[in-house]
Structure 1
């Protein structure tokens, strides 16, 4: 089994979403939309922090004395 074969069944990355049309939204709806986006940003930042911590731990484990 080759490297390419191992990953052949993985899902392709989704395309970037198109920007939402904001013209029809009212102020309250826009505020809710922003709150949802901020929550998603916080979730992404938490995932980045977790991955950086894993990377640091792996680097420390394999660090040459």
Structure 2
């Protein structure tokens, strides 16, 4: 299998994001990026909280 044929990893996009050169971005573009990333952080935190609560509920169910 060629490296180009390998399935991409889920975090490839995150790896690209954190390595992206921010120098060419304007203040407005940086502010927009911050807004979008803060929204994504909030979404991930909600999903994480749901997953933790769901896991706790399942654990409690099987302990009974």
The TM-score, its normalising length taken from structure 2, stands at: 0.71
Larger-Rg structure: 1
**Structure 2: unaligned runs, 5 residues or longer:** 1-6
The TM-score, its normalising length taken from structure 1, stands at: 0.70
Q: Give the corresponding residue for 2:15.
A: 17
- The structural deviation recorded for 1:21 is 1.4
Q: Give the corresponding residue for 1:57.
A: 57
C-alpha RMSD of the superposition: 1.7
**Structure 1: unaligned runs, 5 residues or longer:** 1-10
Between Structure 1 and Structure 2, how many residues are aligned?
54
